[in-house]
Amino acid sequence: MNLVKQTLKDAPTAEEKKYTAKDFQSDQDVRWCPGCGDYAVLAMVQRTLPEIGIPHERIVFVSGIGCSSRFPYYMSTYGFHGIHGRAAAIASGLRISRPDLSVWVATGDGDGMSIGGNHFIHTLRRNMDIKILLFNNQIYGLTKGQYSPTSVVGQVTKSTPYGAIDRPFNPLLLALGAEGTFVARTLDRDPKHMQGVLRRTAEHKGTAFVEIYQNCVVFNDGAFFQFTEKETKDDNVVVLEHDKPLVFGKEKEKGVILDGRTPKVVSLKDGKYSIDDLLVHDEKDTVLSFILARMSNLPGLPTPIGVVYATARPVYELEIERQIDTVVKKAGEGELAKLFMHGETWTIS
C-alpha cells in the first residue's frame, strides 16, 4: 500500500504551458472594500504562482471565515470555503489524501489565531506540506470591528470601548513555538518583497507560514503605516536576508547588535560601530529566530520582515506513507473485519 503516489516534483504536468497571472484569476467579482490590503495579496499570489510551474488544476486554496476567506473564490484553482477556524484541519486532510496537490490556506488573525488556533499549531508541529497565509489586520473585519487576538493593548474597538487589555499574540512567535519549519513576515504595501517571500513559501517542503501585515481601511486603518509608508518605513523596518547584517534606516545608517541576548539599535555614523559589528541573520538559527520575532514587541527596535526561520524536517504525509508501507510489509495484506475485531473487544447486549 502506498498512500503517497508521487510528490509534486515527480507528478506529471497535464501539458507544457506558460502560465500568467491572468490564468489564476477567476471570473468572480472581487468584493473587498476599496483600498483593502487583501487586493495586494491576491495580486501577488496570482503573479507568483505562474513561476512555480504547477498547473492551476493541481492547486487548492482552503479558507475559513473572514474577509480573507473569500480568497478561494477569486483564484482560478480548486478551492474550499470551510467554517470558522477549520481551514488548517481541512487542508491537512486534503494534503494526506491528495499529496499530488499544492495546498494553500488563506486565513486571518481572527480565523487563524482565535477559533482556529488549535488547528494552526498542530499543523505546524506536524509539518505537513501546506502553505499558510495569515492576513493580519489586528481586527475582526467581516463581523464589523471587534478586537482580535492580535489587536494591540489599549485598542478601542466595538467590543473593547475602553481599550483592549489582552496581550496580543505575536504570530511569528506562536509559529516558532509550534516548531514551524518556515516562518516569515511581509507587508501588503511592499509587493516586491511579498512576491519574494511567496516564492520561498511555495518552494518550501513542509508547513510554510507567512504573516502578512494587511491594512483594514474601514475598522483599523493605518495600523501598519509606520512599516509601510515611504516617510517612516526605512526607520521602522529591517529586512532579513540570510547571511547579511541587520542594517536599516533611510541612509542605512543604523544597525542591530546583540547585547548578550538582547537586540539593540546602534548608529553606524559616529564611528563607534561598523557594519562588521552588526548581527548577521542566519535563518537556520533557532535561538536567533525567537530573538528576531520578539523584536516586534519591543519599543525602539525595528520590525523584521522576510524569512525569519527556515529548516528541513520530515514531512508528515511522507511519514504516514513510510509507516503504512512498513506495517503492510511486515504483516501482509489483511482483512478489514479482522483488523476491527483484533485485540480487546467486547459485546454490548
User: What are the residues whose beta carbons fall under 8 Å from the beta carbon of 174, sequence distance 6 or more?
Assistant: 113, 117, 120, 121
Same domain, yes or no: 30 and 156: yes
Question: 133 and 258, same structural domain?
Answer: no
In a domain, 349, yes or no: no
- Strand, helix or coil at 336? helix
C-alpha cell belonging to residue 97: 489524501
**Tens-level pLDDT at each residue, the chain (349 residues):** 343 444 444 444 445 688 999 999 999 999 999 999 999 999 999 999 999 999 999 999 999 999 999 999 999 999 999 999 999 999 999 999 999 999 999 999 999 999 999 999 999 999 999 999 999 999 999 999 999 999 999 999 999 999 999 999 999 999 999 999 999 999 999 999 999 999 999 999 999 999 999 999 999 999 999 999 999 999 999 999 999 999 999 999 999 999 998 999 999 998 899 999 999 999 999 999 999 999 999 999 999 999 999 999 999 999 998 988 887 777 666 777 877 777 887 888 7
Whether residue 217 lies inside any domain: the answer is yes
Give yes or no: residues 137 and 270 share one domain: no
Q: pTM of the predicted model, to two decimals?
A: 0.91
Amino acid at 345: T
Question: Which residue do the cell numbers 471587534 mark?
Answer: 146
**Domains in the chain, number:** 2
In this structure, the answer to whether residues 45 and 101 fall within a common structural domain is yes
Query: Rounded distance, CA 205 to CA 197, Å?
Result: 14
Alpha helices, DSSP H, located in the chain:
38-48, 87-97, 109-110, 117-126, 171-177, 191-203, 225-228, 233-236, 286-294, 316-331, 336-341
User: How large is the angle between the packed helices 87-97 and 316-331, nearest 10 degrees?
Assistant: 40
Domain boundaries, position 312: 21-240+281-328
